[in-house]
Amino acid sequence: AERVDAQAAAQWEAAQQRQAEEAARKLAAERAEQAREAKERADREAERKRLNTFVPPVVGSYVSTGYRTGGSLWSSGSHTGIDFHAATGTPVHAVGVGTVVETGWGGAYGNQVVIRMADGMYTQYGHLSSIGVTVGQQVVAGQQIAVSGSTGNVTGPHLHFEARTGAEYGSDVDPIAYLRTHGVQV
């Protein structure tokens, strides 16, 4: 009888051990799944922030000519963008995530880059002395895309920056307001 009791106790202890091990495996699997889900959420949030981060096109500069400034310098009678003070050779950066849709000579804009932004808007960078991106290239906020210059219709070196609803001339919006809606103070 004692032997049967000892055997039953050993079997009961073994069953308890198996149950404890199974519970530990389930708990470890649940924790691993929770950690994987937390990492996925963090990765999605980081990607959302990356896509929504904007920077000024020129670091440490200021707006030297405002939007809609009137005058005979512009064929439309007013300035369709803003000018950032920038000596020739100053690095020019993409203001946000997007795809380069145009590069090269842009008439009065001189050498230019046009980017279709992740939010569907277009940004244009004009009067460049050198272009460092190609059509179809993906860019991120802060990535150098060109260097400033004085090509096209200019009175001196600077960066001409526009925000547009479409890629073509005439669809301009206030670039300062556009940048500010994305957290950039200019």
Q: Which residues does the annotation mark as catalytic? A: 158
Q: Look at strands 144-148 and 91-93 and give their pairing.
A: antiparallel
Phi-psi region of 17 (alpha: psi -120 to 50; beta: other; left: phi over 0): alpha
How many CA atoms within 13 Å lie on the side-chain side of 177?
8
- The separation between CA 12 and the C-alpha centre of its own chain, rounded to angstroms, equals 61
Are residues 157 and 150 in contact, defined by beta-carbon separation less than 8 angstroms? yes
